[in-house]
Amino acid sequence: MHTFEVVGPPVRLGMEEQDTSHRDGITIVDVVYGDAGAVPQPQPGIENIVSLVTGLALAGRSDIVVPYREVRGPSGSVIGCRALARPCLQQAGE
């Protein structure tokens, strides 16, 4: 088992709400997701662990990894993971 030190604030995607609509009593908000903010520059031998949504926004960077094969506790909360994954996006038509 490994425990990783948190360095700096978490990286989050910028968000901007656009239009709001309703369907069958459910609110639907169009949200534009933007930049991932202050992501550290890649450094040899260093991987940055980020959330899946942030990792997908940064797909292609070799230093970005996300939790993979999550382990859940008795209450269903994520308490760890069995591996880390490097997000890769499939290109349209592949």
The DSSP H or E segment spanning 52 is helix 52-57
pLDDT at 40 over 70: yes
pLDDT band at 92, cuts 50/70/90? low
Q: Does residue 5 lie within any of the structural domains?
A: no
> Can you give the pTM of this predicted structure?
0.77
Which two three-digit tokens encode residue 29?
Answer: 């908000």
Which structural domain, as residue segments, surrounds residue 22? 15-38+47-85
Number of independent structural domains in the chain: 1
Q: Is residue 21 part of a domain?
A: yes
**Does residue 93 surpass a pLDDT of 70?**
no
Spell 50-77 as b/e; 16+ CB within 10 A means b: beeebbbbbeebebbbbbeeeeeeeeee
Instruction: Confirm whether 8 is domain-assigned.
Output: no
Averaged confidence pLDDT in the chain: 90
Separation of CA 63 from chain center: 13
